[in-house]
Amino acid sequence: MNAVTIIGSVNLDTTLRVNEMPKPGETLHAVEHFTSGGGKGANQAVAAKRLGATTNFIGAIGNDKEGTVMMELLNQEEVNTDAVAVIEGESTGQAFIVVDSHGENSIMIYSGANNEFTPAHVNAYKETIKASDFLIAQFESDMDSTIEAFKIARDCGVKTILNPAPALENVPQELLAVTDMIIPNETETEIITGIKVTDEETMKEAAKALHELGIEAVIITVGSKGAFFDNGVKSGIVPAFKVEAVDTTAAGDTFIGALSSVLKADFSNLEEAILFGNQASSLTVQRFGAQPSIPYLNELNK
The residues annotated with a catalytic role in the active site are: 253
Query: Going by DSSP bridges, is the β-strand pair 181-182/159-162 parallel, antiparallel, or unpaired?
Result: parallel
The annotation status of 253 as a binding-site residue, yes or no, is yes
**Integer Cα distance of 298 and 43 in angstroms:** 18
The annotation status of 222 as a binding-site residue, yes or no, is yes
The annotation status of 225 as a binding-site residue, yes or no, is yes
Which residues, at least 6 apart from 23, have a Cβ–Cβ distance to it below 8 Å? none
The annotation status of 214 as a binding-site residue, yes or no, is no
Which residues, at least 6 apart from 141, have a Cβ–Cβ distance to it below 8 Å? 7, 8, 9, 41, 59, 60, 111, 114, 115, 117
Do 262 and 52 touch, CB atoms closer than 8 A?
Answer: yes
The annotation status of 221 as a binding-site residue, yes or no, is yes
The annotation status of 106 as a binding-site residue, yes or no, is no
The annotation status of 140 as a binding-site residue, yes or no, is yes
Residue 35 is which amino acid? Answer: T
The annotation status of 40 as a binding-site residue, yes or no, is yes
Query: Over the Cα atoms of the chain, what is R_g?
Result: 18
The annotation status of 5 as a binding-site residue, yes or no, is no
From the annotation, which residues make up the binding site for ATP?
185, 221-226, 252-253, 278
From the annotation, which residues make up the binding site?
11-13, 39-43, 140, 185, 221-226, 247, 249, 252-253, 278, 284, 287, 289, 293
From the annotation, which residues make up the binding site for K(+)?
247, 249, 284, 287, 289, 293
